[in-house]
Amino acid sequence: MRTALSVTSECAPLVKTGGLADVAGALPGAMAPLGWDIRTLLPGYPRVMEQAKRSKAVADIPDLFGGDAAVLKARVAGLDLYILDAPHLYDRPGTPYLDDQGYDYWDNPERFAALCWVAAEIAENGIEGWKPELLHCHDWQAGLAPYYLMKRDRPVPSLITIHNIAFQGLAPADRMGALRLDGVDFNADGIEYWGQVSALKAGLVYSDRITTVSPTYARELMTHEFGMGMEGLLQARAGDLSGILNGIDLDVWNPATDPEIATFKTARGKSRAKSRLQKEMGLAKSDGPLAVVISRLSHQKGLDLLLEALPAFLDRGGQLALLGSGDKGLERAFAEAAGHPNVAVRIGYDEALSHRMMAGGDAILVPSRFEPCGLTQLYGLRYGTIPVVAMTGGLVDTVINASPMALRSGVATGLQFGPITAHAMAGALMRLTELYAEPETWAQLQANAMRQEVGWNASAAEYAALYQEVAEPS
């Protein structure tokens, strides 16, 4: 077996705030049949430590960014983990990044620099006789690992995956010493970003290869609109940048075996799931389509556009069921929208309910202003819940628009809209109601959606080829 160390701040099912965790949790299992032994280095947050009770210490690390630490080895949920047990950095309430008041931890730069430092140590010296042939770093939290490798004469190569370039890991320049960074590298060609340190930029500069989570997002990142100030660097490294689509766990998201719903393999089963969902959410039965939203409520996700487009959809018999939380203004706006008898809103997150919504919904709405890959639309395809998506990032790469030609050719799987405006979204929702009113066309659309390959097989093969290139450059 070839060997690789995945360096990540979250990993499903142990700890998750977004799609990064799903990728970090799924990729080792998908790559194992292709000959890669991937082990995961993860911070020892309380919820991780709780699930790794049978761990054993395999390395001691004195004076790690403010305190002593250890590396624990554990196997949890089929994953081979190295857990960085550093209570002074990770034994805290809140999320991996925010305190219990919702604010960034003041020392997040040091917390994740520590993760990167230990990754570089393992890459250089191995651990308990195991040594990776490459590091796979995920997002800014792992961005300093390629930098630390560079300072150790690159004992192994590295690649970094951008899951969302909006998060860049910034720190004041006066933290350089605390982060064990060399002042000579604080310049435009190194780790400096508008007078600050950027952990993400460090990863983009010093890694051997750069990936992101869809081909379209890779192209978008080299533009001013989407590059978030990193577009020039990514243009310069265009030959090292590639986009590989995410997949989903086909066992967790399987309409035939999902424990949260009654098994359905036919339109009749889908209809029963819809009726149960309407009853649960307090919606009356309707002749129109039931659209669902399962999302973080934020400007990025474009849900303010949905609020503007919603009245026209409701006027034509549509219904909306939303599950999500985030921006308080959007939470209040959707709570007010729920005053309409055909709108149901649950503020918060409920994994089991998300499965029931995916099963019972007719359509899943994803109006994101930018979306590196997106997983929600993939769940929709799997469950025959037709995606209605904005034309951006991975949404473009995974949903085939129901144009007249695509419908005649029998390949359409959903609806795309652009430009990304409320007016364009309203047009897509009108089109949704028209298609739903044509039973044969709608059934064909559902069948097409459920036939799509949304698992990890194709993507894992692309990652395996990339790993091979990185580990054995010509």
The pLDDT of residue 290 is 98
Model confidence at 247, pLDDT cuts 50, 70, 90, reads very high
DSSP annotation of 452: S
The pLDDT of residue 315 is 97
Which domains can be identified in the chain, with CATH numbers?
Answer: 2-247+457-471 (3.40.50.2000), 267-450 (3.40.50.2000)
Q: What is the pLDDT of residues 334-349, one digit of tens each?
A: 999 999 999 999 999 8
Model confidence at 257, pLDDT cuts 50, 70, 90, reads confident
Q: Which of 169, 306, 279, 302 is nearest to 228 (CA)?
A: 169
Q: Tally Cβ neighbours within 10 Å of residue 1.
A: 10
The pLDDT of residue 349 is 86
Percent of the chain with pLDDT over 90: 92
DSSP annotation of 287: S
What is the DSSP pairing of strand 290-297 with strand 209-212? Answer: unpaired
Contact call for residues 114 and 86 (beta carbons, < 8 A): yes
pLDDT over 70 at 266, yes or no = no
* HEC letters along 249-260: CCCCCCCCCCCC
Q: Name all contacts of 147-155 with Cβ < 8 Å and 24+ positions apart.
A: 147/116, 147/181, 147/185, 147/191, 147/202, 147/203, 147/205, 147/206, 148/116, 148/117, 148/119, 148/120, 148/180, 149/120, 149/123, 149/124, 149/206, 150/206, 151/182, 152/120, 152/123, 152/124, 155/123, 155/124
pLDDT over 70 at 415, yes or no = yes
Contacts of 392 (CB under 8 A, 6+ apart): 216, 220, 368, 369, 370, 371, 418, 420
pLDDT over 60 at 413, yes or no = yes
Quick check: bond before 387 cis, omega within 30? no
Contacts of 104 (CB under 8 A, 6+ apart): 97, 98
Confirm or deny that 270 is annotated as ligand binding.
Answer: no
Rounded to 10°, the helix 199-206/144-151 angle is: 50
Contacts of 49 (CB under 8 A, 6+ apart): 83, 85, 91
Model confidence at 18, pLDDT cuts 50, 70, 90, reads confident
Structure token pair of residue 187: 């310049």
Model confidence at 4, pLDDT cuts 50, 70, 90, reads very high
Q: Which residue has 């009853």 as its token pair?
A: 279
What is the DSSP pairing of strand 56-61 with strand 69-76? Answer: antiparallel
pLDDT over 90 at 364, yes or no = yes
Structure token pair of residue 289: 């389509």
DSSP annotation of 239: G
- Tell me the C-alpha distance between 304 and 307, whole Å: 5
Name the helix (H) or strand (E) containing 73: strand 69-76
231: left (phi over 0), alpha (psi -120 to 50) or beta: alpha
pLDDT over 80 at 260, yes or no = no
Query: Between residues 263 and 7, which one has the greater pLDDT?
Result: 7
The pLDDT of residue 281 is 97
